[in-house]
Chain A
Amino acid sequence: MDHLSTDVLVVGAGAAGMYASVSAAKSGAEVILCDKSLISRGGATVMAQMTVAAAIGHQEADHWTHHLYDTIQSGQGLCNEKLSYQLCKKAPDKILEMRDWKTGWANDNARIRQVLAPGHKIKRCCYVDFLNTGPAVARTLRGEVAKHRNIQRISGITIIDLVIKNARVAGAIGLNTETGDFVSFAAKAVVLAAGGLTQLFARNSASKNMGGDSHALALRAGANLIDMEFVQFFPIGHLAPRLVGMDPIMWDPFRYKLGGKLLNGQGEQFIENYGGEDGATYTVGRDLAAYAILKECEAGRGSPNGGAWLSFQHLKKEELEGAFGPIIKKLAFNDIDLTKQSIEVAPIAHYHMGGIEVDESMETCVKGLFAAGECVGGANGANRLSGNAIPEAFVFGDIAGSNAAKVKASQNTLSNQDFEIAISHAMGDLLQPPSDNTLPQKQTSRGLLHALQIIMWENVGVLRDTKKLQKALTEITRLRNKVFPSIRPKQGTAFNTSLMDWLDTRNSLSCAEAICLAASKRKESRGAHQMEDIPVKSDKFTKNQIISIHNGRLASSWKEVQKLDFDLKEKSLAVV
């Protein structure tokens, strides 16, 4: 087995992981940045299309306190305000730093263009045209990473477990996907930055790598998860006709710039029936829109594929081309002409507010173990503002990287035996004979993952209730304890997709159980957690929920919300 040694190991090479690597390297640390896919390409960052919120005030007077106010409002009482504070206060510097690094934010010379997005009271969201924010950000950071000789970049390494010694992180075990060999890493600190987990839901906007790897690694290492019940569903994900070459959340920028009418299967506007205002253009908030679309479907008034119609037919061809030139061409490639047809949209899982519990230095309760980006829980509370995900990746990456670099060498020295033990622990399930040989041989990890995605979508999605959550929890426990242990990946060495799927599915099962358990304990409706049988918010639950492993099982507990130690209103008024 090969062995590598470094100061800081960063797991995941999206915006958060790359920013963390650069900051750790600037602080003088030796860094290894690895990704199970390719550096900068495999996660959510490269798929981001539009908005990056930061109070740089280039279009309207703005201040980070206003951004913080909007973020906390949107979080409905559950934001870890100390994390939200870091996010909003530091975002402007990061945007300008990225400009210096030639990201190419849309601009009028010195002024970066900023647009309004739902939940923000001020034009605050930067972007790169046309719908090119993610690729531009990924390219910029990949270039910055390459400038640092003390960052070793490794594509194609799947981290399968962390190595913990004397209650602190000491390294990790990786699988080299190209060869099927194990690789061991010794590190003083590890930054988990492998993204979110929306792949757990049948309808999602995730890449295939977003199945909760960071969360599962953290849990197994003894760290806590927080706010796992809060999954953001994007209301108008693309549903039909088949559209390739575009991210399914592409219709939101259309809506910001051009409006658009949301219609049910009978061609009627319906948002008003749910207490929203729609009028001529579609401007209603995300949660209400998602709710209304699914309720129309339940009542038999959905569009043919189980969603709603989104129509831009009131617009002229020139208007569409003026606003989205190259995108209109991509639509034509898919035989879609918005002047002649409506498209079908439906809610899809898009972002996860919950994640790994960290302190203000992005460190978990396991010494030396940090997290950054979407896999961090807390900054966005019960609902995330549009545009907060990318700055969160920059800011938290920066904080995690610079703090990870400060971790002093521990007394831990890892022997070969330590790694052998870690591998047998990580892969232990595969060393046992299958638990049930009676299951049909056709059962695969992928098949199980699809079953899980449907359970999560149908029972733990936009519309939840006590019964559905209980049913999901029972089903997931059965899959985890009875079905999964009977599955054996196919033997193989080079690019063994069967083993990769098995590892992904194991992580996803842990995360699904964590989400379900947390959702079943929160007996109220708040933000993205909507219970149809308990439709009210309850003060009793103005608390964060922690999920951790106790005696080999997931357990839930509650903690007080972290509040700011200054008066935000006062501070905000002082700068107006």
Chain B
Amino acid sequence: MNSETDKNLNAELNIFRGTAGSDSKFETFNVPFQQGASVLDALIWINDNIDETLSFRYSCINANACKECMMLIDGKVEYACLKKLQEKRSTLKPLPNKRLIKDLVTDIVPPKEKYST
């Protein structure tokens, strides 16, 4: 989100926080809205400006090549990098059918590519 950010407009992200086996909660972040920006842009903005501990997976940064940023956005399974940020409140949750690791990170690692001793 660069210089084009319009300070008058806002997107509100209501995000699941928590780890497996601990209390969870939702936390709301107000992020500047920019035309054309993705939800992933907004999550990275939160890491940079508000909370560096908010966890979500991504590698390729909006190229939709790594396919790591899948999550539940307003009840639908989406890639955060393809989902456009909207000037309204959106709710972000971890994938429901995967084991929770932390916040928006779930265990999406294929069984044979997992760590085991």
Contact = CB atoms under 8 A, between A and B. Distances in A.
Interface of A: 2-4, 37-39, 41-43, 46-47, 134-135, 146, 153-157, 176, 178, 183, 206-209, 240-248, 305, 334-335, 444-447, 450, 490, 492, 494-498, 501
Given A245-B64, A248-B63, 9 more contacts: A3-B117, A4-B117, A47-B65, A135-B65, A155-B109, A207-B61, A244-B62, A247-B63, A497-B55
A153 B110 CA distance: 10
A241 B36 contact: yes
A490 B41 CA distance: 22
Given A335-B36, A446-B52, A494-B19, A46 B112 contact: no
A444 B117 CA distance: 34
Interface in B67-104: 67-68, 81-82, 84, 101-103
A186 to B, nearest CB: 13
Given A47-B60, A305-B3, A242 B35 contact: yes
A450 B44 CA distance: 12
17 contacts: A4-B117, A37-B57, A38-B68, A39-B110, A41-B65, A43-B59, A47-B60, A154-B114, A178-B101, A242-B37, A244-B84, A446-B52, A447-B48, A494-B55, A494-B102, A495-B101, A498-B52
A39 B112 CA distance: 10
Nearest to A41: B66
A501 B44 CA distance: 12
Nearest to B36: A242
A448 B103 CA distance: 24
B24 interface: no
A205 B52 CA distance: 23
Contacts of B54: 497
B66 A46 contact: yes
Nearest to A33: B113
Q: Which secondary structure dominates where chain B touches chain A?
A: loop
A154 B117 CA distance: 10
A209 B59 CA distance: 6
B113 A153 contact: yes
Interface residues of B, number: 46
A256 to B, nearest CB: 19
Contacts of A206: 61
Contacts of B60: 41-42, 46-47, 207-208, 247
B109 A495 contact: no
B114 A495 contact: no
A332 to B, nearest CB: 13
A3 B37 CA distance: 43
Nearest to B103: A495
A155 B114 contact: yes
A246 B117 contact: no
CB-based closest 6 A-B pairs: A242-B36, A42-B59, A495-B102, A247-B63, A245-B64, A494-B102
Most buried by B among A241, A305, A497, A498: A497
Given A2-B117, A207-B61, A497 B19 contact: no
B72 to A, nearest CB: 17
A141 to B, nearest CB: 13
Contacts of A446: 47-48, 52
A291 B35 CA distance: 30
A444 B52 contact: yes
A39 B114 CA distance: 10
Interface in B14-61: 19-20, 34-38, 40-41, 47-48, 52-55, 57-61
B66 A38 contact: yes
A247 B20 CA distance: 34
Contacts of B115: 154-157, 176, 178, 183
A208 B58 contact: yes
Contact of B113 (A38, A240, A245, A496): A38
B105 interface: yes
Contacts of A176: 115
Contact of A207 (B4, B66, B101): B66
B30 to A, nearest CB: 18
Nearest to B47: A446
B50 to A, nearest CB: 10
Contacts of A38: 59, 66, 68, 108-109, 113
Contacts of A247: 60, 63, 65
Contacts of A39: 110, 113
Nearest to B82: A245
A490 B2 CA distance: 27
A435 to B, nearest CB: 20
B103 A41 contact: no
Contacts of B68: 37-38, 41-42
A497 B65 contact: no
A159 to B, nearest CB: 13
B112 A146 contact: yes
Given A41-B59, A242-B37, A497 B47 contact: yes
Contacts of A155: 109, 113-115
A207 B59 contact: yes
A176 B35 CA distance: 37
A99 B88 CA distance: 48
